[in-house]
Amino acid sequence: MGRHSSDSRSFSVAGWVIAAVIAALVLLGVLIWWFGFRTTEQPQAQECIQGELTLPVAGDAAELISAYNASEPVVRDYCVTATAVDDAARAAVVIGEAPEGRSVASSTPVTGGTAHVLAPAGDITEEQSRAGADFARFSQVDAPPTTTTTEAAPAAPGSTLILFDTSAQSAPVNAQASEDLSRLALELGGEGQQVALWNYSSPLNPGVTQGWRTNVSFSDGTEAAQVVQRFGTGGVPQTRSAVAAAVATAAEQARATGEPVRVLVVTTGTAEDMDEDTFRNAVEQARGDAPVTIEVAHLGEGERDAVLAELSTPATL
């Protein structure tokens, strides 16, 4: 007897189709994890390429340290952690009075006092000194209305000639000073000043007889801010002859514009290239009756030039 076909049909799904759908969903989940969660975590692991760096801070700085660490600072690819120390001799930053016998790279007003960033020396490395400068900038507040020293900060409209010591002994402080001077040049230009930039050391090339280089003429500070970060170091600091030449150019600028000119000398010391009386006479003759002032920021461990100090007022970067 023959079979009759049925009018009902089976709509069940084959098992291999179900397995394929499940495998596709699993694969999709893996891809979402791989390109989503994994890529969001990876950059965090790359933030501290150079590793961890401890920044020792002395003085009354508990609140400053807490706020700085909360910002999770990274300086030159180091993850920095500020920590309090009792002995200023072991610190890279001191809040309050600057310690005696240590070279101060920069001073910045902060809540509760002044942050003195110390130049690399002893156990304090150049990386810690850079981190100290970052700590000071992070903690910076407006300076008080009265000060006891002349700050190397934007002044009234006029001109500033920056005379930068790039001798071999400036190497430990060169990087930080370059950054500070670059910032200063932009600030001065923003205040309407004209900024010129010279660097100096003993002659480094055959046939060269003078130790100073007139890199950037008086302009709005932009070019000076760029050029100051390109200098190498070498030779000895023939400061006196460079200062006398800079004062002469500053006097010309003052007479041409009818406005005062400041010569900002950033120095690590003096390798004597003029005796004291010759230096005094050269500066006074170069200045004449022009409204030219000299300010000096002494960096590093070199001996201070007493005659230069006599002819100038102090400045900090």
Whole-angstrom distance, CA of residue 181 vs CA of residue 312: 19
φ, ψ for residue 216, nearest 5 deg: -130, 125
117: closest CA among 107, 131, 102?
A: 107
Partners of 268 in beta bridges: none
Whole-angstrom distance, CA of residue 154 vs CA of residue 121: 30
236: closest CA among 307, 170, 294?
A: 170
Domains of the chain: 51-139 (3.40.190), 159-314 (3.40.50.410)
Residue 129 has a pLDDT of 85
DSSP sequence for 4-47? PPPS----PPPHHHHHHHHHHHHHHHHHHIIIIIHHHHHHHHHT
Residue 31 has a pLDDT of 63
Residue 17 has a pLDDT of 58
What would the two tokens of residue 230 be? 């390109």
Residue 191 has a pLDDT of 87
DSSP sequence for 194-225? EEEEEEE-S--STT---SEEEEEEEESSHHHH
3-class DSSP state of 83: strand
Enter the pTM of the model: 0.54
- Do residues 260 and 229 make contact, with C-beta atoms less than 8 angstroms apart? no
Whole-angstrom distance, CA of residue 179 vs CA of residue 175: 6
- Sheet containing 104-110: which strands, arranged edge to edge? 74-75, 78-85, 51-58, 93-95, 113-118, 104-110
Residue 287 has a pLDDT of 94
CA dist 90 → 69, 81, 87, 108, 152 (Å): 19, 15, 6, 19, 27
Per-residue pLDDT of the chain (317 residues; tens, 9 = 90+): 444 444 544 445 566 656 666 666 666 665 665 565 544 444 444 478 889 999 999 999 999 999 999 999 998 889 999 999 999 889 999 998 877 777 777 778 888 888 888 878 888 898 898 899 899 889 988 644 433 333 444 445 689 999 999 999 999 999 999 999 999 999 998 888 999 999 999 887 777 788 899 999 999 999 999 999 999 999 999 999 999 999 999 999 999 999 999 999 999 999 878 999 999 999 999 999 999 999 999 998 888 999 999 999 888 77
Residue 111 has a pLDDT of 85
First CA to last CA across the chain, in angstroms? 112
